[in-house]
Amino acid sequence: MRSPLLIALFLLFTSALFAQEATISGKITDEAGSAIPFATVYVRNTTKGTSANSDGGYTLNLKPGQYDVQYRALGYRQESRRVDLKINQTINITLKTEEYQLKEVSIRAGAEDPAYAIIRKAIKKRKTYLHEVNAYTCEVYIKGLQKLLAAPKKFLGFDVQKMARENGLDSNRRGIVYLSESQSKYSFMQPDKVHEEIISSKFSGSNRAFTFNRASDLQVNFYDNLQNWEGLSNRPLISPIADNALSYYRYKYAGTTVENGETINKIRVMPRNDYAPCFSGYIYILEDSWRIQGLDLFITKKANINFVDTLKVSEQFFPVSGNAWMPASLKFEFTGGLFGFKLGGYFIALYKDYDIDPKLDEKQFTEVLRITRGVNKKDSTYWEQQRPIPLTAEEKTDYQKKAVLAAKRESKPYLDSLDKVNNKVSIGKLLLGGYRHRNRYDHEYYNLNSVLSSVTYNTVEGLALGYGGSFTKQIDSVNNRYLNIYGKVRYGFSNKLFNASGGITMPVGSATLNLAGGSDVIDMNNREPISSFMNTAYTLLNRQNFEKLYQKQYAAATLSKRIYGGWQASVGAEWANRRYLSNTTDYSFFHPKGHVFTSNNPFSPGADVPLFADNQSFKINVRTTYDFSNRYETYPNGKRYIPSKYPIIGVSFTKAVKNVFGSDADYNLLSADISKTDIPMGFYGKTSFYVGAGKFFNTKNIYYTDYRHFSGNQILFYEGGISKFLLLDYYRFSTGDKYLEGHLEHNFSGLVTNMIPLIRKLKLQEIINVNYLATPMLKNYTEVGMGFQTNIGLRVMYGTSFNNSPGGVNHAIRIGASF
């Protein structure tokens, strides 16, 4: 009996032994002994592989067996090793610089470089390879690292040295500020459906945070004509094999080489205009098939990219199945600096285990991203086994050092001590920035507004103090939902009116309920087209009182909910007592010639005749919107729905009910709107629009505050936005009948300004907009505006109007912000 038992145990042991993985590791260097960063290592005829780290070190885990292992780096000759893998092996590799042979071609004076013929063939095949694979799945490993290379000790009063010390940087404020790794399962289906599930996530310095790495964010396809890298560049970047690439690039043939039986053409690409949104570098094209085998490109700040000085992108492809080639690795490297800060880093993605004939259901792409709880809880043993790119010594130290800092930061004693320091009350906080009392451990926050922002001045109240605060507490950590209680008091020192209002917002099931009430002094135009701050400035400094106010005592309730996907709805009810107010002061610092305060009635500027009688209203409002999308991302704390590429359609209905709680108002309003921002127009920028229309009916009793109001503008400074006018009067063209409103804005994203020397350094975006309004009182009012906007949203516009009313502004310059 013993022999069979021993044999069985022996077989079990040996089968377990051979089922385990063995490791090939080593270092990849050039002929001078210098490390070749991020060289790729792949097993021939498979999609299994890895990449070297920034020090040239690599690790490849495989089951015991025989393998042909290939070592590749752009610009170097490929090396192969036949490996009989039984136990761990160390294989160091030296890659020699690739020698590209020039073809024997006769080039006569003025003849075209041979590269152009190759590029034309690649352009002709572009669409074929863009749609070659209808769907695929793969696994993706992403590693991101950012380092602070230099920084001042202090910046605008902020102690950078202290921040650096608290975040594990060295005494010279240098070191890793972001280090993260992730593993994902990625699925794609033509034309643009994606699904990504994060399997594991590691973030240096936090045991709770999730990686910012996304495979979907690194989907770079140079078979597309344009690369839309939002944020990095205002303009789409042009691919070297775009349909119109020959108009933007020059090419130079750099020779051919043979690798795995394939002839590879090396082509140098150069922008015809250094300031065009084009790449420089090399692209590698396979002979006969004319597909991309690899690319090593860069773009600099000359092309007006944002945030970084230089961005390098390197990508390598390999055959997956049949004739299909897919990305093997993709790497971004960047450097940049501003105000004494210098930053550098990279993101690298490795792709493996492709399936280009998967059984996929279109319904699964409704969920674009999934990150579940526990993906950031994998231990160091897991990562040592799964990490394809070995850590450098610096990265190991960063993980170890910041793990200690993370454990400390997330402990209750540390959070309490941090709150104790930050919760100290100071005169500066109360006056300027407001005061916030935090209890991070229990997720409770108290906020008090700044005193200075609470002080305003207007001709109705005189000096007015509207001081408020709020309390916020997380009550659902699973779905990241909060309870918010807020309130404020307001007192006018001239009219001696005291008002107090407040409310509470809380989750009710999957909906959100808001209850509010009290009394307040508010703008007659519920769109609030002019801020209290700007009205204060114009009133005191320029003796112009634009804001028209009334007192409202009210009680309101609103319930809002996402019905399904992009379909949202809300229902609300409000009772209100509305009281007209008159001016009580005419004080101003200065008295410019010809400037006279107007009454609080915009239709009777010379006499303070009440615009409306004191009245009460009870209104029910229902609104629903739909954006034609049900796509969403799933996070451990709930879902985030993704906006559609289609417009948002909204429909609203308001009914004022007479004799309910003493209501005087009696009317119905039905309105609809459609809008969309930042519609991409390729190389020519992006367009936004808003169209709204509505009609009052069964109108038996209506007051000015019930009218449909518009976002006009009568001052130099204004707040931008797609539904804003440049020159329209704030109050005189509100309507209680019917209206049609339209706004169209196009941002050329620097199409013209980037051609002008010196001006291009400002990174200005050209803006053109058209605004339209038609009411029974104002027929076909039209504005045309043109100007420039900076990257941070500041803009200067010149506007002119047509079909304006007598006394209206026909043209003016406006300075605003659009965020």
- Global pTM value: 0.88
> Residues 238, 239, 240, CA angle at the centre, nearest 5°?
115
- Is the per-residue pLDDT at 11 higher than 70? no
Asked whether the predicted pLDDT for residue 18 surpasses 50, the reply is no
Q: Name which of 778, 669, 684, 648 is nearest 725 in CA terms.
A: 778
Per DSSP, 341 falls in state: E
- What pLDDT does 598 receive? 96
pLDDT of residue 690 exceeding 90, the answer is yes
3-state secondary structure of 309: coil
Cβ neighbors of 73 (< 8 A, separation 6 or more) are 28, 36, 38, 39, 40, 95
pLDDT score, position 109? 59
Measured CA to CA, the distance from residue 28 to residue 41 in angstroms comes to 10
pLDDT score recorded for residue 104: 59
Per-residue pLDDT band at 4 (split at 50, 70, 90)? very low
Percent of the chain with pLDDT over 90: 61
Q: What number is the average pLDDT over the span 345-374? A: 90
CA angle 682, 685, 688 (to 5 degrees): 110
Considering only residues 263 and 1, tell me which one the structure prediction assigns the higher pLDDT: 263
Q: What is the pLDDT, as a whole number, of residue 15?
A: 36
Q: What angle do CA 352, 357, 360 make, to 5 degrees?
A: 100
Among 168-177, 270-279, 403-412, where is mean pLDDT lowest? Answer: 403-412
Close Cβ partners of 74 (under 8 Å, ≥ 6 residues apart):
282, 284, 294, 295, 296, 314, 316
Residue appearing with tokens 């043939």: 253
Class of domain 21-94: mainly beta
pLDDT at 434: 86
Quickly state the pLDDT bin for 162 (edges 50, 70, 90): confident
Mean pLDDT of the chain: 89
Q: How far apart are CA 444 and CA 621, in angstroms?
A: 33
> What pLDDT is recorded for position 10?
37
Of residues 378 and 734, more confidence is placed in 734
Pairing of strands 93-94, 89-90: unpaired
pLDDT at 400: 87
Pairing of strands 135-150, 341-355: antiparallel
788: pLDDT confidence band, cut at 50, 70 and 90? very high
> What's the rounded mean pLDDT across residues 700-705?
97
Q: What is the pLDDT at residue 416?
A: 73
Residue among 119, 116, 114 nearest 104 (CA): 114
Other Cβ atoms less than 10 A from the Cβ of 378: the count is: 17
Residue that wins the pLDDT comparison between 760 and 517: 517
pLDDT score, position 745: 97
Residue 651 near residue 672 (C-beta atoms within 8 A): yes
Would you state the pLDDT for residue 107? Answer: 54
Question: pLDDT tens digit string along 518-551?
Answer: 999 999 999 999 999 999 999 999 999 999 999 9
Structural tokens at position 85: 């893998």
Residue 503 token pair = 């409310």
DSSP string, 630-641: --EEEETTEEEE
> What is the chain's Cα-based Rg?
33
As a whole number of angstroms, the distance between CA 49 and CA 329 comes to 10
First to last CA, the chain: 81
- Residue closest to 129 by CA, chosen among 320, 308, 313: 320
Report residue 372 as tokens: 């579940």
Which one-letter DSSP state was computed for residue 532? H
Give the tens place of pLDDT for each residue, 716-758. Answer: 998 888 999 999 999 999 999 999 999 999 999 988 888 888 8
pLDDT at residue 168 is higher than 60: yes
Domain boundaries defined on the chain: 21-94, 114-409, 449-539+554-591+607-664, 673-819
| Least confident interval from 478-492, 643-657, 803-817 | 803-817
Among the ranges given (401-415, 562-576, 633-647), the one the predictor scored with the smallest mean pLDDT? 401-415
Using DSSP, state whether 738 is helix, strand or coil.
Answer: strand
Q: Give the model's pLDDT for residue 217.
A: 80
* Cβ atoms of 470 and 486 closer than 8 Å: yes
Range from 97-101, 165-169, 387-391 carrying the lowest mean pLDDT: 165-169
Q: pLDDT by residue (tens digit) across 439-493?
A: 877 888 999 999 999 999 999 999 999 999 999 999 887 777 899 999 999 999 9
Query: What is the spatial distance between Cα 343 and Cα 398, in angstroms, rounded to a whole number?
Result: 17
Q: How far apart are CA 545 and CA 600, in angstroms?
A: 9
CB 11 within 8 A of CB 17: no
pLDDT at 221 > cutoff 70: yes
- The angle at the Cα of 40, spanning 37 to 42, to the nearest 5 degrees, equals 155
Q: Cα separation of 149 and 158, whole Å?
A: 18
For 791, other C-beta atoms within 10 Å of its C-beta total 15
Question: So what's the pLDDT on residue 703?
Answer: 97
Residue 762: what pLDDT?
A: 86
Q: Report pLDDT digits (tens) over 101-153.
A: 876 555 555 788 999 999 999 999 999 999 999 999 999 999 999 988 888 88
Report the distance separating Cα 115 and Cα 236, nearest Å.
25
Cβ pair 470, 484 in contact under 8 A: yes
- Mean pLDDT check: name the lowest of 165-179, 536-550, 587-601: 165-179
